[in-house]
Structure 1
Amino acid sequence: MATIEKTQPEQLEAVRVTSHEPVDNLRGRAFAGREHTRSYWQTLRKDPKLLFWIGVMLFTLITRGFENQSSGSVISIPAFKEEFGVPNAQGQYFVETTWQSALNGGSNGAAIIGAFLASYTADIFGVRPVVLAFACLNMISVGIEFATTSIGMFLAGKLLNFVAIGAFLNLCTAYVADVAPMGIRASCIGFCNLAQCIGPFISAIMSNFTSRWSSAWSWKALVCAQWGFCGVAFIALLWLPESPVYLVRANKIDAARRSLGRLYSDPADAEGHLQEIHLTIEESETQKRSSYAECFRGTNLRRTMIAILVFLSEPMAGLGFVSNYGALMYQYLDISDAASFRIQIGAQILSMSGALIAMLIGDFFGRRPMYLTGCLALVGLLFCMGISGSINTTAAVTASVGFYTMFNFFFNVGVGSIVYAIAGEIPTSILRQKTLAIALSVSAAANTFWSFVSPYIFNPEYGNLKAKIGFVFGACMVLFFVSGYFYVPETRRRTYEELDELFMNHVPARQFKKHVTVAEQQAHEAYEMVEAKGGRMDSV
């Protein structure tokens, strides 16, 4: 926490006016100052109700990870290939490359539609009714996939499913960023990635067993399992408190107060958070204007580009390739079908381990160092994979499998988890959902590109790069490391009002961590006033 002595002389007068501000503003600033004084563990233990509702919201993202992993697993299951594939010259069935690309690339395109629909409608109707509507679409689309009689019908169900999944990813990330306390914000938002790692782990275990079955249930079991996730999520979401940021923007102050009362254990904290939201919206550059065009005006352009940058690094690191074609890649490296499914289980354990570590340390080490270190680690790993893939020996193939599998850990412990925290915190509160929709859509578009192109790059009948594809993604990550160094700021232990001020003052990314803001100093002064009067928010 910065002290008054560190404040620049021209800022002192701005700090002193705190004592003359309206009472509601003082309470909002005092709440921000109190958040600065709470440690990670104090914050984590403070509000179990808040953590519960964050968990409910993030539970919906397990469906996204499960469906994403299942997409690659299903097209590798013998029964699915025999039912919807064609035989090759040796009489072995396979799903044609064009359908592989459509199933994976088309899904990413559908996620773009879902993200934009969700961000637009949530501004009108609120987060809760919109996420419930998409949960219904999720359940309907799973029914279409389950009852499919052709690969075209299967594709149609998957496209509808990913419209819902794109909406979930947008709304969940924005909602958690809105309500998460500052001290544990990276952990809460980082759980978005961990939730998406749990789904693939369950999918990998299921496909390891069901792939041995000779009936259609070998792949249908993977599809209908999604009903369990989305059904439980739908029931829990019926009681989800509405986003307080939406309610304040809609001038429904009493409803926002009730919503925060259901999230916070201490009524004083709920009231403080309410006033902090109101203060942040009131003093933001955007104020109450919310449109996609606004994301590209003034300092919001810089914020949008940072969100795009970090989310774009996910597909450019090879995430879509690994998640969609994992089982096939192992098979092309001469790993048997059964062994490839078992390796996938280990890969998903590595994914969850990396995501869990990132979730726990993000609030201690900061967003910027974790992102840059993650990019650099992936550069080394992917180049090692490319080098081993260039050597035609048994040992080299084994090394390629190892590097390819370890990608899951290195990706999730750095880039995969922390991009959610960065992109969730960077936008101004009013434009958070729309900025995330833009960033997620660019990421999904890049994933679509790789989904269509990757089969032609690594499949034996085309480019036949196999593990040498690591050179392609490794070179991309060099560019993101350099870009991140110059443009990705540190947002750790910053309130949204402070971040608004930093961007409006055009502070360089590398100076975010040490720069002392007026908002920070005013929060410190307001908190000192509250403490001097017994520590009660209603004393000011």
Structure 2
Amino acid sequence: MEKHEEVTGVGQEVSRDEKGDVVQIDVTRDITRAEHELGFRQALRQYPTATFWAMFFSIAVIMSGYDGQIIFSFYALPAFQKRYGIPIGDGFEIPAPWQTALGMGNPIGQVLGALASGYPMERFGRKWTLAVCCVWSVGFVFVQFFASSLPMLCAGEILGGLAYGFYVVIAPTYASEICPLALRGLLTAFINLAFVIGQFIAQGVAAGLEGREDQWAYKAPFALQWLWPVIILIGLPFAPESPYWLVRRGRKEDARKALEALSSSKNKPDIDQVLLGVEQTDLLEQEFEATTNYLDLFKGVNRVRTEITIMVYLIQVIAGNPLIGYANFFFEQAGLKAADAFDMGVGNTALGFVGTITSWFLLNYFKLGRRTIYNTGMWVMTLLLFIIGFLSIPTNNQGAIWAMASCMDVWTFIYQMTVGPICFVIISEISSTRLRTKSIALSTAVQSFFNIISTIAMPYMLNTDQANWGGKAGFLFGGISFFCAIWCHFRLPESKGRTFEELDILFHRKVPLRDFKTYDLLAETELEKVQTA
């Protein structure tokens, strides 16, 4: 569809399609105002099934969090160490090269899977792409479970990781496209909780099996991975498809049915108005974007949007998060006994769970902005990393070791309350709806690529037969975190309370990023209408 005339603001009739019909952007002023006025509790009453299905799709992310954590937990698991490790002192240790190879399986698969997710998600939709990935996961868990050697296990991790790359793109994309503005923050932040749940289960399973000396100490955790895809495959046929995807495919009536299925039968919103808002957002973005390929992510204002989505996701890796993945091993290397290390690891993920729940209250009860929560978390996390580094300077000091381990737990709590969940809110809001799949896919791929780098580096940083940094790694990550916090201060906009259409216009007008919070498009539109009357 060819468009003419410039789109200048919310509520203005300024665009015509090739038939000469007026694109009804003027109507969206009332839709936008209604979105702003819709409260959290009212939104839950109107969209209970949307809330359920967004959380249901997040089950897939539990698998990604579980697999990424369990393989690192094996490095501190005595049975796994004895079976595959080499003698070090009085015990065994998995050699650093094999730790690197095993740990790289999941992120390598995620890079490839995330980049490959764009086409099937746009061609076949969100739910059927997820269904195929679940079948894929069931198959390659067999490879991990029956692996007779470390090379075979590595192959299973890489091939299984392909599906995880899809999962972490599908879940936030779907959640952001099926829920109203009032629920968008909670349901996209829930993606992070799914990661934490996966990590928590992995830590609990590893701690529960830590005392076993047979092969089931590491085979049983692999077998547990068959549970999640089966649950998803049972429920997926009943899930509504994304209304935004259906509108882009020209299936307006199917989009209407999806919206009806996502809303309450008793407290139903105005489906026609909601559908019109979806259509007008798509038409507006067609004004800005003639095509929807990966190159478009780096054209015009999309370049800024891509920078933001990549950075907020990348910061998860480069600003200290790898220490969470190596929590058990890190605690052991810091001087704790194996049992104490696993207990601290479980406590670490439990605090992460509580932290993510707390982020919901920051978003919905205290109504703090995304930028405020994210930036505050960055500065507190930076300080804690430097404290961990300084605590590592005294040698053989049990008090300092426990203090350092406790700081790791506090860091995890702050991270999972701020940067962890808010990242998924931001990447789901900042990217345009037409490029969202590819934007989240590219961000996931970049994050996973740097996760590969950290996976290579961490064993050499922490292992006793290598650099043996221990807590001194806090200095490195603290320095990186400081510069990331500076970037956030200048480059991270506030997207709280903005519809997708409003964000499109703010970026298109090149409004300074730090002014997004105060720029009033609706009031401006009313003023323009008075002046032209």
In structure 2, the residue matched to 1:72 is 72
Q: Does 2:385 align with 1:386?
A: no
Q: Which amino acid aligns with 2:292?
A: S
Q: Which amino acid aligns with 1:459?
A: N
Q: Which moved further from structure 2: 454-463 or 425-434?
A: 454-463
In structure 2, the residue matched to 1:187 is 186
Aligned with 2:35: secondary structure? helix
1:29–1:523 CA contact under 8 A, matched in 2:
no
In structure 2, the residue matched to 1:375 is 378
Instruction: Report the CA distance shift for 1:329/1:218 in structure 2 as closer, same or farther (over 3 A).
Output: same
| Equivalent residues in 2 for 1:258-407, closer than 5 Å | 258-265=257-264, 268-284=269-285, 285-287=287-289, 289-323=291-325, 325-363=326-364, 364-392=367-395, 393-407=397-411
In structure 1, the residue matched to 2:231 is 232
In structure 2, the residue matched to 1:116 is 115
In structure 2, the residue matched to 1:535 is none
Q: Which moved further from structure 2: 100-109 or 516-525?
A: 516-525
In 2, the alpha carbon distance for the partners of 1:14 and 1:496 equals: 11
Q: How many residues align?
A: 512
Instruction: Report the CA distance shift for 1:214/1:520 in structure 2 as closer, same or farther (over 3 A).
Output: farther
In structure 1, the residue matched to 2:211 is 212
Q: Which amino acid aligns with 2:447?
A: S
In structure 2, the residue matched to 1:8 is none
Aligned with 2:270: secondary structure? helix
Aligned with 1:430: secondary structure? coil
In structure 2, the residue matched to 1:43 is 43
Q: Which amino acid aligns with 1:177?
A: S
In 1, the alpha carbon distance for the partners of 2:462 and 2:523 equals: 52
In 2, the alpha carbon distance for the partners of 1:360 and 1:270 equals: 29
- Cα deviation, residue 445, structure 1: 1.1
In 2, the alpha carbon distance for the partners of 1:354 and 1:411 equals: 8
1:61–1:195 CA contact under 8 A, matched in 2:
yes
Q: Which moved further from structure 2: 198-207 or 379-388?
A: 198-207
In structure 2, the residue matched to 1:143 is 142
In 2, the alpha carbon distance for the partners of 1:238 and 1:427 equals: 28
The sequence identity of aligned pairs, in percent, is 28
In 2, the alpha carbon distance for the partners of 1:296 and 1:500 equals: 15
Structure 2: segments with no counterpart, 5+ residues: 1-6
Alignment counterpart, residue 496 of structure 2, candidates 489, 492, 496: 492
Instruction: Report the CA distance shift for 1:520/1:415 in structure 2 as closer, same or farther (over 3 A).
Output: farther
Deviation digits for residues 4-26 of structure 1 (CA, Å, limit 9, x no counterpart): xxxxxxx99985759x9969656
In 1, the alpha carbon distance for the partners of 2:13 and 2:60 equals: 45
In 1, the alpha carbon distance for the partners of 2:185 and 2:9 equals: 33
Q: Which moved further from structure 2: 37-46 or 117-126?
A: 37-46
In 1, the alpha carbon distance for the partners of 2:8 and 2:390 equals: 58
Instruction: Report the CA distance shift for 1:16/1:489 in structure 2 as closer, same or farther (over 3 A).
Output: closer
- Cα deviation, residue 345, structure 1: 1.2
More relative contact order, 1 or 2 (CA 8 Å, 6+ apart): 1
Aligned with 1:63: secondary structure? helix
2:314–2:446 CA contact under 8 A, matched in 1:
yes
In 2, the alpha carbon distance for the partners of 1:518 and 1:409 equals: 38
Alignment counterpart, residue 458 of structure 1, candidates 462, 466, 470: 462
In 2, the alpha carbon distance for the partners of 1:23 and 1:472 equals: 53
Instruction: Report the CA distance shift for 1:101/1:170 in structure 2 as closer, same or farther (over 3 A).
Output: same
- Cα deviation, residue 280, structure 1: 0.7
Aligned with 2:390: secondary structure? helix
Aligned with 1:507: secondary structure? coil
- Cα deviation, residue 68, structure 1: 1.5
In structure 1, the residue matched to 2:94 is 95
Q: Which moved further from structure 2: 260-269 or 97-106?
A: 260-269
In 2, the alpha carbon distance for the partners of 1:373 and 1:522 equals: 35
- Cα deviation, residue 165, structure 1: 0.9
| Equivalent residues in 2 for 1:56-67, closer than 5 Å | 56-67=56-67
- Cα deviation, residue 374, structure 1: 0.7
2:60–2:232 CA contact under 8 A, matched in 1:
yes
Aligned with 1:193: secondary structure? helix
In 1, the alpha carbon distance for the partners of 2:523 and 2:142 equals: 51
Instruction: Report the CA distance shift for 1:243/1:31 in structure 2 as closer, same or farther (over 3 A).
Output: same
Instruction: Report the CA distance shift for 1:240/1:390 in structure 2 as closer, same or farther (over 3 A).
Output: same
In 1, the alpha carbon distance for the partners of 2:139 and 2:150 equals: 17
Query: Taking structure 2 as the reference length, what is the TM-score of the superposition?
Result: 0.91
In 1, the alpha carbon distance for the partners of 2:290 and 2:505 equals: 17
Alignment counterpart, residue 470 of structure 1, candidates 453, 458, 474: 474
- Cα deviation, residue 204, structure 1: 1.5
Q: Does 2:420 align with 1:419?
A: no
In structure 2, the residue matched to 1:4 is none
- Between Structure 1 and Structure 2, the one with more helix by share is 1
Deviation digits for residues 461-492 of structure 1 (CA, Å, limit 9, x no counterpart): 11111001001111111111111111110000
Q: Which amino acid aligns with 2:193?
A: L
- Cα deviation, residue 394, structure 1: 2.0
- Cα deviation, residue 449, structure 1: 0.6
Instruction: Report the CA distance shift for 1:16/1:134 in structure 2 as closer, same or farther (over 3 A).
Output: closer
2:59–2:232 CA contact under 8 A, matched in 1:
yes
In structure 2, the residue matched to 1:6 is none
Q: Which moved further from structure 2: 335-344 or 29-38?
A: 29-38
Q: Which amino acid aligns with 1:149?
A: S
Q: Which amino acid aligns with 2:251?
A: K
In 2, the alpha carbon distance for the partners of 1:362 and 1:336 equals: 39
Q: Which moved further from structure 2: 179-188 or 507-516?
A: 179-188
- Cα deviation, residue 120, structure 1: 2.1
1:312–1:443 CA contact under 8 A, matched in 2:
yes
In structure 2, the residue matched to 1:31 is 31
Instruction: Report the CA distance shift for 1:129/1:331 in structure 2 as closer, same or farther (over 3 A).
Output: same
2:47–2:179 CA contact under 8 A, matched in 1:
no
1:116–1:437 CA contact under 8 A, matched in 2:
yes
In 2, the alpha carbon distance for the partners of 1:208 and 1:262 equals: 42
Instruction: Report the CA distance shift for 1:399/1:523 in structure 2 as closer, same or farther (over 3 A).
Output: farther
1:281–1:288 CA contact under 8 A, matched in 2:
no
In 1, the alpha carbon distance for the partners of 2:8 and 2:449 equals: 47
Structure 1: segments with no counterpart, 5+ residues: 1-10, 526-540
Aligned with 1:298: secondary structure? coil
In structure 2, the residue matched to 1:159 is 158
In 2, the alpha carbon distance for the partners of 1:509 and 1:60 equals: 33
Q: Which moved further from structure 2: 142-151 or 37-46?
A: 37-46
In 2, the alpha carbon distance for the partners of 1:318 and 1:210 equals: 28
Deviation digits for residues 410-466 of structure 1 (CA, Å, limit 9, x no counterpart): 111111111111111001100001011111111111111111011111222111110
Q: Which amino acid aligns with 1:458?
A: L
In 1, the alpha carbon distance for the partners of 2:8 and 2:103 equals: 56
Instruction: Report the CA distance shift for 1:278/1:14 in structure 2 as closer, same or farther (over 3 A).
Output: closer
Deviation digits for residues 187-209 of structure 1 (CA, Å, limit 9, x no counterpart): 11000001111111122122111
Q: Which amino acid aligns with 2:295?
A: A
